[in-house]
């Protein structure tokens, strides 16, 4: 009987102690999450589900349903893992985690956390098995007390700003199976790890050395000074000769290396130390998150071999992602705008969407560098397709050229009339009209002129611009240096001339050698001499072009279609009552004006009444 009573008392005492421990665990874990919520800023409101108002429900396992929280058991409020990756959280390392006494996993990767790790981190998370702090902005030295978290299996610290040496104590973590500190400005000797080795890419930092990287070079040893006096003179002379030869070799090698770097053209990219972890702000959810380091890898460190275009606004690089998909990355020329102004401009341009505009996918700021990320256009620029095709290659037929003209007109009219505020491109040319895999035209570089130096966007546009001369620039612009929509329309007209004539804007191959003018000057000459038929691209004749015009339209017809230099007025004229089945010859016999900016330029009229007439098949168009 006495033994039964004793057994009963021991049973009750056991459950009393267990209940007390559970209650303590519940209270401390709830306090842990409350403190975590307080210490971290949550601009995206991912932690709004953390509601502590119902204390009873919270104690009965409600916190286990919080976003990012895993418990040992769904009915107990004892936190097992905290997974808050990729939530945009801001703040220092949350020291309140010390109250989550049963936690074994902590994942705060891909956020904007900053500052040093606490020196007593082993007391805050003593039983953690997996610790992932990668892709943040943590800085300072790695605390030596990391080596006291003896249960660590996974320690991921890559893509941060940690500096100094890797503590030797970390090498004593016997359970460690994964360790990564790549892309941090760390330096010094890599410690040896107990019964474990890690791949070299996990230590990808410029100033680290030792296995698995290159061996560290020790300080030079002092040479002994005991020299035989009799050999001193000969030794000194020999040393001088050797030093002279070595210095000459070193200077030549340095000169060659500098020359090679200049030829490679990516010295600027290699100088951006400590910026590899900077995030690329993306506008498209369909594009995976990237960092500046990803752009470096995708462009071979912005190698000259990846350059696919270069102009006044900057240099464009081909970027190949690990999955094989292609992007285009533009490095802008020096922008005079502040970082805040630049970000504001990018957010505005990121919202500009049209089927015939190259979409801006994202941007990145790395020190003074400004990088833009675009979708890659498979068929390059219109300029390349018109003027840089290999001999014997298939030329563009008229329906395709017309399609390109229509699409570009749509985009330009949309920029001028549908954007608020409207966007003046300032640099319309066949080089900024890109073609996708279906040869659908896409205008690029819209809105970038506002980011350039004011001098560049005016005088340099036609003196030192990417066009090299006045080929695309409206005559009034050279006098006033004021950009207007009419200037864009004029430039677009020159593009249309390229489509129909196949000639470059500044060099007319079909003109006599004595002719030194531009394409505009050549067409003006032909028009004045009733020889417009000589302007038509000969490759169109016999295929889609059956005949050519003999005379310019009568003056009374000219007046009926003149406009005040806007694409909005131009486009309706392009397609007014023109059936899609009409052939070129039909249109030529029944004049349907295909009107573009150019031609009978009136020097006294600043209003922009300048016209040139093409005749083409058309289709209805809507914006």
The CATH number corresponding to 280-375 among 3.30.2350.10, 3.40.50.300, 3.30.200.20, 3.40.50.980 equals 3.30.200.20
Question: pLDDT tens digit string along 214-255?
Answer: 888 765 444 444 555 656 777 788 778 878 777 877 776 665
pTM of this prediction? 0.50
What stretch(es) of the chain map to CATH 1.10.510.10? 382-615
Any idea which of 400-404, 526-530, 614-618 has the lowest mean pLDDT? 614-618
* 479-486 contacts, C-beta under 8 A, 24 or more apart: 482/458, 483/424, 483/426, 483/449, 483/457, 483/458, 484/424, 484/565, 485/416, 485/422, 485/424, 485/565, 485/566, 485/567, 486/564, 486/565, 486/566, 486/597, 486/608
What stretch(es) of the chain map to CATH 3.80.10.10? 19-209
- CA angle (426, 431, 432) in 5-degree steps: 50
Higher pLDDT, 254 or 3: 254
d(CA 127, CA 81): 11
Whole-number pLDDT of residue 255: 56
Q: CATH for 19-209?
A: 3.80.10.10
Mean pLDDT across 97-107: 90
What stretch(es) of the chain map to CATH 3.30.200.20? 280-375
Whole-number pLDDT of residue 505: 87
The CATH number corresponding to 382-615 among 1.10.600.10, 1.10.510.10, 3.20.20.150, 3.30.565.10 equals 1.10.510.10
pLDDT of residue 211 exceeding 50:
yes
Length of the chain measured in residues: 623
H helical segments located in 396-474: 398-417, 459-463
d(CA 108, CA 128): 13
CA neighbor of 598 nearest in space, from 545, 558, 560, 568: 558
Question: Average pLDDT of the chain?
Answer: 73
Mean pLDDT across 326-333: 86
The band of 154, judged by pLDDT with boundaries at 50, 70 and 90, is: very high
């Amino acid at each position: 009987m006495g033994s039964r009573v004793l057994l009963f008392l021991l049973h009750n005492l056991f459950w009393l102690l267990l209940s007390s421990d559970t209650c303590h665990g519940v209270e401390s874990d709830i306090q842990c999450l409350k403190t975590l919520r307080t210490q971290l800023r949550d601009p995206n409101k991912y932690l709004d589900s953390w509601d502590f108002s119902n204390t009873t429900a919270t104690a009965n396992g409600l916190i286990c349903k919080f976003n990012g929280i895993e418990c040992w058991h769904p009915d107990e409020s004892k936190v097992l893992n905290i997974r808050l990756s990729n939530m945009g959280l801001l703040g220092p390392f949350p020291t309140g985690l010390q109250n989550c006494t049963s936690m074994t996993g902590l994942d705060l990767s891909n956020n904007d956390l900053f500052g040093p790790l606490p020196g007593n981190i082993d007391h805050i998370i003593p039983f953690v098995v997996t610790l992932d702090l990668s892709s943040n902005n943590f800085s300072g030295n790695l605390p030596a007390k990391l080596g006291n978290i003896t249960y660590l299996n996974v320690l991921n610290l890559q893509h941060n700003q940690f500096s100094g040496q890797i503590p030797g104590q970390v090498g004593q973590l016997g359970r460690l199976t994964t360790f990564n500190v790549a892309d941090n400005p760390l330096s010094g000797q890599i410690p040896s790890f107990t019964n474990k080795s890690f791949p070299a890419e996990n230590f990808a930092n410029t100033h680290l050395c030792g296995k698995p990287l290159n061996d560290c070079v020790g300080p030079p040893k002092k040479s002994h000074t005991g020299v035989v006096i009799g050999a001193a003179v000969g030794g000194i002379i020999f040393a001088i000769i050797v030093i002279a030869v070595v210095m000459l070799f070193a200077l030549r090698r340095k000169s060659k290396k500098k020359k090679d770097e200049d030829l490679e053209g990516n010295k600027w990219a290699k100088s951006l130390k400590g910026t590899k972890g900077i995030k690329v702000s993306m506008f498209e959810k369909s594009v995976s998150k990237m960092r500046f380091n990803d752009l470096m890898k995708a462009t071979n460190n912005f190698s000259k071999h990846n350059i696919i275009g270069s102009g006044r606004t900057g240099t464009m690089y081909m970027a190949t992602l690990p999955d094989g998909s292609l992007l285009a990355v533009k490095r802008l020329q020096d922008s005079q705008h502040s970082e805040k102004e630049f970000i504001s401009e990018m957010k505005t341009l990121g919202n500009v969407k049209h089927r015939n505009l190259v979409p801006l996918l994202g941007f990145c700021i790395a020190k003074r560098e400004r990088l833009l990320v675009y979708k890659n256009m498979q068929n390059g620029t219109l300029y390349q397709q018109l003027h840089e095709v290999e001999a014997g290659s298939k030329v563009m037929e008229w329906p395709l050229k017309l399609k390109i003209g229509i699409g570009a007109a749509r985009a330009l009219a949309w920029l001028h009339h549908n954007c608020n505020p409207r966007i003046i491109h300032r640099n319309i040319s066949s080089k900024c009209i890109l073609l996708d895999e279906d040869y659908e035209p896409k205008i690029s570089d819209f809105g970038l002129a506002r980011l350039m130096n004011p001098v560049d966007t005016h005088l340099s546009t036609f003196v030192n611009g990417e066009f090299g001369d006045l080929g695309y620039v409206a005559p009034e612009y050279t006098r006033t240096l004021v950009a207007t929509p009419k200037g864009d329309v004029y430039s677009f007209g020159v593009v249309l001339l390229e489509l129909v004539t196949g000639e470059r804007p500044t060099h007319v191959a079909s003109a006599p050698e004595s002719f030194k003018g531009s394409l505009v000057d050549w067409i003006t000459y032909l028009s004045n001499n009733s020889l417009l038929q000589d302007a038509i691209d000969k490759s169109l004749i016999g295929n889609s072009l059956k005949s050519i015009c003999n005379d310019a339209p009568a003056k009374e017809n000219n007046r009926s279609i003149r406009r005040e230099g806007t694409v909005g007025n131009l486009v309706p004229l392009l397609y007014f009552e023109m059936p899609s089945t009409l052939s070129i010859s039909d249109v030529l016999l029944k004049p349907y004006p295909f009107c573009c900016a150019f031609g009978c330029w009136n020097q006294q009229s600043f209003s922009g009444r300048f016209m040139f007439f093409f005749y083409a098949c058309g289709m209805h168009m809507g914006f």
